[in-house]
Structure formats: structure tokens, C-alpha cells
């Protein structure tokens, strides 16, 4: 866990290393960092892919090659990395660079480590548990379009068991077994099939007074009068969120870390999905699995602020430790669709949620 005897800062900065060490010592045990990032306080002669070059003056610029660049001035920090841009606004402590080194050492990606570093406050290293959990200290994601006026309708705070299902037939079967939150994730290029599957699923949801979400296909969900729609981070840039809100549909958004959580919260969604908690084969994930320790920290920060759903690789065995984090809902796929006895699997999973209350 020690940062000593590593080239964490360039040029070497003993005082920053000492502060980073004190902060890291209060953050607990985390997997070893997969990348040994180097925070460059001056421009290295040959920037490397694992360099984060910090600029604190507006007029500074550099052709950084494969290196990432951090521009920090005037209440704003922008990370440029691999063609992507992550912009955050707010206040930060004088120790933010030391905190950044500490959170990078906890194996967080630079944009999430940066989010945590800006939420850090000087003196937090004196706490027994120094992890940032005060939402008021977290930065804001900059340059986002306005959230829909009035926001989206609310969901129950604890959505419970949340099967994500491939067809209307599966939706009907699971709702008949007493599940009250589910999602249709229909993979088809046939417009007629999609329209029919959504209409049939929405009808089943109404019969059971259930929370039926449609994955991705927001136009069709509006047309069918669905309870809600679930979108990924990339869909926020293309979907008409105002149209979804005007139609009265709930909105669930996928997130994969601190930066995306803050970005999603800007749009005032009905719930946030946090994942992928574990490796999953049901879809290609843009990020590595989050794990239980991160999920618990996400819940600690956001519980009571927005309904939360753990998602990704959650099976029967994994459900109890997932629920132990305090998350109010957990999405499952194969735990239901590949069960040898669907009714028994649903009953067992439902009992796990009942014992959580």
C-alpha cells in the first residue's frame, strides 16, 4: 500500500508524497493499481501513456502524445485522455494532487480518482474512515445540457428484485410469479417485432400494476405508454430526455463509477443502476467490474438521494453480499432465465429481499 520508493510525482515531490501516504493509509484495502500513474508537475521531456501532466495556468498548452493532461484553474479541472474529455467544477483542497495519487493507487480510473480527489478535504486523513461520503463536497460535471424541466417521475425507493428479460413471454411469466419490477431488453432489428414485444410487455405490466422498464427503445416506450425506460450513458447524448419526461415515463440510467454517477444525477433520473458489480457475459461492458467494496461506497454516498440498482453478474450466490451493501434493488438476468426451476428461483430471490427489510 506504500507509495514510497515509487515515481508517483515528477519531478520528485517529497512533501506531496508524504501527504499522499497519509491519505492512502486512511482509505482501506483496495486491489493493487493496474497502472502506475505518474503525476507530472512539469512537462517531461518524453511524455508516457501513464503520465498525467498537470497545468495550472490557462495559457499553458502541450502536445502530450499518449499522455493524459489535467488543466486545473478557475474552479474547473478538465482531464483530457485518449480523445475523451472529463470536466469538473467546484472547490477543492490544497491537497487535491496528493489525494489524486492516493485514489489512483486504489485502482480507480483517472476520471473517477479525480472526482474523489476533488471531493477530498484537508484534514480528512485524520478520520478513522476518510473516504469521501459527503455529497456536498463532490464536484459538478461541467458543460452538460439542461436537465428536463420538472424532472422525471419518482420510483419506489427500493425497487427490489429486478429481472432484465429478453422477451414479452418472459416478462409475463415473471410478473405472474409476483415480481413487480422488470425490464424488457429486446435485441432485434425487426421494427414490427420490437413494437409487438413492447406493447405486450407494457400490457402485462399494467395488469400486474408493475414497474416495467424498456431498455434503450425510448421512442417505442413512449408510444406504448410504458412505466419507464432504461438508458446507458452513451444514450443520454442521443435520446430526447425532454420527450421522455413530458410523456411521464420514469428514467433509469446506467453508471460505471463516480464521474458517471455525478453526470447522471444532473439529469435527475428516477433511479441509477450501479455496475457492473461482477463480470457478466450478457453484454459487453465499457469498464472493469466494480466489485462489492465500490458498490458499498456508492450506496453510502447516494442512499436516500436516488433509488439505486446493483447490476451486472449478480447470481443467486452473489445476491446476499450485494444486498448487504444496502442497495435497494438488484438486477438479474441468468439467475432467472437460466434457472432450472424459474418459479423456485424467483421465490428464493424474493425471500432474500424480504429478509433485507
List of residues 6+ apart from 283 with CB closer than 8 A: none
Q: Which three cell numbers stand for residue 131?
A: 473516504
Nearest to 228 by CA among 240, 218, 237, 236: 218
From CA 133, how far away is CA 16, in angstroms rounded?
23
The alpha carbon dihedral of 222, 226, 227, 230 has a sign of negative
- Strands 329-332 and 211-215 turn out to be unpaired
Nearest to 67 by CA among 44, 47, 90: 47
Q: Which helix (H) or strand (E) holds 119?
A: helix 110-119
Neighbours of 247 (CB within 10 A): 15
**How far lies 330's CA from each of 19, 20, 59, 111, 281, in Å?**
38, 35, 47, 26, 17
Q: Which residues pair with 274 in a beta bridge?
A: 255, 310
Specify binding-site residues for Mg(2+). 216, 235
Specify binding-site residues. 183-187, 215-216, 235, 254, 280-283, 313
- Residue pair 249/152 in contact (Cβ under 8 Å)? The answer is yes
Amino acid at each position: 500500500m506504500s507509495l514510497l520508493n515509487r515515481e508517483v510525482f515528477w519531478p520528485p515531490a517529497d512533501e506531496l508524497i508524504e501527504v499522499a501516504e497519509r491519505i492512502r493509509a486512511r482509505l482501506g484495502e483496495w486491489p493493487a493499481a493496474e497502472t502506475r500513474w505518474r503525476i507530472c508537475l512539469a512537462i517531461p521531456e518524453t511524455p508516457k501513456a501513464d503520465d498525467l501532466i498537470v497545468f495550472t495556468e490557462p495559457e499553458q498548452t502541450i502536445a502530450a502524445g499518449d499522455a493524459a493532461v489535467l488543466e486545473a484553474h478557475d474552479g474547473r479541472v478538465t482531464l483530457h485522455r485518449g480523445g475523451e474529455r472529463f470536466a469538473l467544477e467546484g472547490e477543492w483542497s490544497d491537497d487535491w494532487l496528493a489525494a489524486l495519487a492516493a485514489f489512483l493507487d486504489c485502482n480507480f480510473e483517472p476520471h473517477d480518482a479525480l472526482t474523489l480527489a476533488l471531493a477530498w478535504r484537508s484534514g480528512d486523513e485524520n478520520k478513522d474512515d476518510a473516504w469521501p461520503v459527503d455529497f456536498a463536497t463532490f464536484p459538478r460535471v461541467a458543460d452538460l445540457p439542461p436537465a428536463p424541466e420538472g424532472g422525471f417521475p419518482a420510483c419506489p425507493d427500493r425497487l427490489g428484485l429486478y429481472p432484465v428479460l429478453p422477451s414479452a413471454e418472459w416478462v409475463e411469466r415473471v410478473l405472474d410469479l409476483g415480481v413487480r419490477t422488470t425490464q424488457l431488453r429486446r435485441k432485434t432489428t425487426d421494427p414490427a417485432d420490437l413494437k409487438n414485444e413492447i406493447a405486450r410487455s407494457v400490457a402485462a405490466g399494467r395488469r400486474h400494476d408493475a414497474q416495467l422498464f424498456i431498455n434503450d427503445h425510448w421512442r417505442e416506450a413512449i408510444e406504448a405508454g410504458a412505466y419507464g425506460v432504461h438508458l446507458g450513458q452513451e444514450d443520454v447524448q442521443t435520446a430526447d430526455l425532454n420527450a421522455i419526461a413530458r410523456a411521464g415515463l420514469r428514467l433509469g440510467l446506467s453508471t460505471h463509477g463516480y464521474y458517471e454517477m455525478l453526470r447522471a444525477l444532473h439529469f435527475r433520473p428516477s433511479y441509477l443502476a450501479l455496475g457492473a458489480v461482477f463480470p457478466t457475459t450478457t453484454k459487453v461492458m465499457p469498464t472493469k467490474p466494480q466489485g462489492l467494496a465500490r458498490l458499498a461506497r456508492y450506496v453510502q454516498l447516494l442512499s436516500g438521494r436516488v433509488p439505486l440498482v446493483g447490476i451486472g453478474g449478480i447470481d443467486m450466490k452473489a445476491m446476499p453480499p450485494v444486498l448487504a451493501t444496502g442497495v435497494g434493488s438488484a438486477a438479474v438476468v441468468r439467475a432467472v432465465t437460466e434457472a432450472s426451476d424459474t418459479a423456485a428461483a424467483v421465490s428464493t430471490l424474493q425471500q432474500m429481499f424480504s429478509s433485507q427489510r
